[in-house]
Structure 1
Amino acid sequence: MSTSAAAPSRADLPDSDPLVLSLFGLTVVSGIVDAVSYLGLGHVFAANMTGNVVVVGFALAGAPGFSVPGSVTALGAFLLGAVLAGRFAAGRLRAALVAETVLHLATAGVLFAVEADGAVQYATIGLLALAMGIRNATVRSLGVPDLTTTVLTMTLTGLAADSGAGSRSARQRRRLLSALTMLAGVVPGAVLVLHGQAGWAMVAGAALTAAALVLCHRR
């Protein structure tokens, strides 16, 4: 599916639309990715860049357990992915999802093959953050309200601020589902990482991304 600039009609897409369903699925993947990166790769966020800026601040202040190089690697790879998507694949969700699926599988392969420490750890962080940068730039160009797939701050703000607006019930439902789908990725992702199965968590992430790709193809 090739899409250029965000179409106004996307603001009115129902939650049952294949594009919306695919974005919910990608939100689940974001939860898995951040569970793997934060719990398994040295307290680094691969999807949530706000978190990395905060982590860099903690590390610079001398707080133990946080890595400036790890977070800077994530930030750099994420920005590279966003630049690539912005210049070469803006709005091309299928291409972005193919790239993301491949990068998640590559990450799983690394996690299965070797211990993720030292240079390997930074390379793994880079693979995940690169995938998230490509996806974020592409999803941003689609302009579907309340479905950024990685960031919930403004979504939760809208959920609370519009809580008395009955006419916005459809938007409120989508905002709530966005938060729940993120949680639906974080919990199983964290369980797998804590049980030494980070590779399988990324296999699940790749499978869900591929499923989102199929949904987009149907649309």
Structure 2
Amino acid sequence: MTANAPRDPLVILLYTLTVTTGLIDAVSVLGLGRVFTANMTGNIVFMGFAVGGAPGFSIPRCLVAVASFLFGAAIAGRLGKAMENAPRRRWLSIIAGIEAGLFFVSALIAAGYDIKSLEPAVHLYAMIVMTGIAMGLRNATVRRLSVADLTATVLTLTLTGIAADSSIAGGANPRWGRRVAAVVLMFLGAALGAALVLSAGLAAPLWLTGVAVLLATFLYTRHPDSQLSQKQAQA
């Protein structure tokens, strides 16, 4: 089975990660003081706003998020390279375990944190660091998987593909279902995340994200395709 097959279990895993990215975006932007821990483009823009004097944006928070994300991406890159001949189920299970563990610890920290005041500051920065590392791990791992139109974290190129490859533009609408699904799932994750953050705080969406990552990865590892190594899957 290839990564383009509609029932590919890897696609289902990436759909799940796309939903949970929306959850984490809600946690970080709404609960951690206008900072992204999944979308680094947003942090660069936010830092520009802060330099320009716009209120409510923090250069230190954004810098910590970017540094944490880069650290997580570096770890994932090294793990991916070291395990390129191992079954993907083992590689992705390790990544999922680390990622979920970081979300669970963040959820525990969130229990003593106040969203309105962003205090205590040590809890705020600890959650930025841990979710930033987790999302760096995710981004680098998904990048290595190289499944077309499923980055699980950003949608700019996905939306560009929907329009640029459409029949209106003279295209053949390749993978339009997958592209639209990614957009809808990110939207639903963000909406659910916002509802949870505003009604129950940060712990609930963090717990939900960790459980979803573990469950989706476990289900993927039950499929025979997960026994392939990265090199075999790309052959």
TM-score normalized with structure 2 length? 0.84
Structure 1, residues 118-154: CA drift from partner, whole Å, max 9, x if none?
1221111110010000011011001100110001000
Structure 1, residues 48-78: CA drift from partner, whole Å, max 9, x if none?
1100100010011110000111111110000
Residue 162 (structure 2) aligns with: 159
Letter aligned with residue 204 of structure 1: L
Write out aligned runs for 1:61-76 (5 A).
61-76=52-67
Aligned-residue offset at 1:98 = 1.1
SS in 2 for 1:43: coil
CA contact (8 A) 1:19 1:215 kept: no
SS in 2 for 1:187: helix
SS in 2 for 1:206: helix
Letter aligned with residue 141 of structure 2: T
1:198 equivalenced with 2:190 (yes/no): no
Structure 2 Cα separation of the partners of residues 52 and 196 of structure 1: 25
SS in 2 for 1:149: coil
Residue 13 (structure 2) aligns with: 22
Q: 1:82 aligns with which of 73, 81, 84?
A: 73
SS in 2 for 1:42: coil
Structure 1: 4+ residue segments shifted above 3 A: 113-116, 165-169
Aligned-residue offset at 1:167 = 4.1
1:97 equivalenced with 2:96 (yes/no): yes
Aligned-residue offset at 1:166 = 6.8
Structure 2 Cα separation of the partners of residues 185 and 179 of structure 1: 10
Structure 2 Cα separation of the partners of residues 49 and 114 of structure 1: 24
SS in 2 for 1:210: helix
Number of equivalences:
209
Residue 147 (structure 2) aligns with: 144
Residue 107 (structure 1) aligns with: 106
Letter aligned with residue 187 of structure 2: L
Structure 1, residues 63-108: CA drift from partner, whole Å, max 9, x if none?
0000111111110000000001101234622211111111111111
Unaligned runs of 5+ in 2: 85-90, 224-235
Tell me the C-alpha RMSD between the 2 structures. Answer: 1.7
Bigger Rg, structure 1 or 2:
2
CA contact (8 A) 2:166 2:172 kept: no
- Identity across the alignment (%): 44
Residue 180 (structure 1) aligns with: 184
Structure 1, residues 152-204: CA drift from partner, whole Å, max 9, x if none?
000000011111167445x1110000001101110010011112421111111
Letter aligned with residue 104 of structure 2: L
Unaligned runs of 5+ in 1: 1-6
